[in-house]
Amino acid sequence: MGSTFGHRLWWVDAFTDDSARGNPAVVVLLERPMSDSELQQIAFELGVSETAFVRRVGDTWQLRWFTPTVEVELCGHATLATLHVLLTELGVPGGEFYFHTRAGTLSGRRLGQGLLAVDLPRQHLEPLETSILNGALGDVSEVYAAGAQSVVAVVKDYDTLCGLLVDPMSLFLVPGSLVIAVCEGAPQADVAIRVFAPRLGVAEDPVTGSALCAVAPWWASRTGMPTVSVRQASARGGMMYARLFEKNVEVAGYARTFFGGDLRA
């Protein structure tokens, strides 16, 4: 790649709280179009679970997400991180932000008390046989397909969830880009999850906003409640809040900038 200056970037931890470090995303503000191969190389060099590339197009924003190995259809934490950068680092005015993505047009906004929220597409759950996991998550009581990309597996309790010893190669055989293990009950939360994405080059994701596209409908089907608090029981930890609508799930959380700089690519 040639040497061009002008692309700014920020490392943002998304879905943090006092006891959780959240999920890092690098948000790159593009000043000019770049090829897919250039974007993928940058994401590989940065090495976080997702790099978000955002570029202004009129009154809206074009947004793409890359893991170190592939471009993904949807990423919640990197979208929240992008919203944080636009509001906090760039001071972009506006109450509602719109992002054109491979998953359609997503929107985001600032809520009260420092919370940020993004609207992600709701997924509908279809029951599956537990045998589809081939024992990769141990003893599970229920399994669901959530859209074309995700699988949700229900485990007994929080201790069971935290104690899962998962072989990424076994999960690679499960027909889903995201494998979401979920249980009722968690410290200061309604639900706990862990998320594995070996097909996307991510053995275990630290915090996964897009998982709530499936988890919020699952919780509503069990409790009738349209809102849910979710703790992600990864090594870094994360805290998310969701509100279920007919077509979307509003996913909310806190974000903080770790550092910013210039991309020389």
Give me the pLDDT at residue 265, please.
64
Examine the domain organization and report whether 160 and 220 are in the same domain: yes
Query: Taking 90 as the threshold, does the pLDDT of residue 5 lie above it?
Result: no
Read off the pLDDT of residues 24-61 as tens digits, 9 standing for 90 and up: 999 999 988 899 999 999 999 999 989 999 999 988 89
Averaged pLDDT for residues 211-231: 97
Catalytic residue selected from 31, 45, 50, 204:
50
Which residues make Cβ contacts (< 8 Å) with residue 81, sequence separation at least 6?
10, 12, 13, 14, 25, 27, 52, 255
Examine the domain organization and report whether 205 and 231 are in the same domain: yes
Examine the domain organization and report whether 174 and 84 are in the same domain: no
Query: Taking 50 as the threshold, does the pLDDT of residue 161 lie above it?
Result: yes
Q: Which residue has the higher pLDDT, 85 or 203?
A: 85
Examine the domain organization and report whether 88 and 62 are in the same domain: yes
Q: Is residue 1 part of a domain?
A: no
C-alpha span between 61 and 190 (Å, rounded): 34
Examine the domain organization and report whether 108 and 129 are in the same domain: no
C-alpha span between 26 and 43 (Å, rounded): 9
Give me the pLDDT at residue 138, please.
87
Q: Which residue has the higher pLDDT, 220 or 166?
A: 220
pTM of the model: 0.92
Read off the pLDDT of residues 167-219 as tens digits, 9 standing for 90 and up: 878 888 888 889 999 999 999 999 999 999 988 888 899 999 999 999 999 99
Give me the pLDDT at residue 202, please.
85
Examine the domain organization and report whether 32 and 104 are in the same domain: yes
Examine the domain organization and report whether 77 and 11 are in the same domain: yes
Averaged pLDDT for residues 65-91: 95
Give me the pLDDT at residue 4, please.
42
Query: Taking 50 as the threshold, does the pLDDT of residue 3 lie above it?
Result: no
User: What's the one-letter identity of residue 109?
Assistant: R
State yes or no: is 246 an active-site residue. no
C-alpha span between 209 and 232 (Å, rounded): 10
Examine the domain organization and report whether 89 and 155 are in the same domain: no
Residue where the block lists tokens 């490392």: 11
Query: Taking 90 as the threshold, does the pLDDT of residue 71 lie above it?
Result: yes
Q: Is residue 2 part of a domain?
A: no
CATH number (domain holding residue 161): 3.10.310.10
Examine the domain organization and report whether 231 and 132 are in the same domain: yes
Give me the pLDDT at residue 90, please.
94
Examine the domain organization and report whether 129 and 237 are in the same domain: yes
The whole domain housing 63 covers 7-121+252-263
- Strand partners for 60: 57
Query: Taking 70 as the threshold, does the pLDDT of residue 1 lie above it?
Result: no
Residue where the block lists tokens 């045998």: 131
Query: Taking 70 as the threshold, does the pLDDT of residue 141 lie above it?
Result: yes
Which residues make Cβ contacts (< 8 Å) with residue 205, sequence separation at least 6?
23, 49, 178, 195, 196, 197, 234
Examine the domain organization and report whether 25 and 116 are in the same domain: yes
Averaged pLDDT for residues 3-18: 82
Number of domains into which the chain is organized = 2
Examine the domain organization and report whether 236 and 257 are in the same domain: no
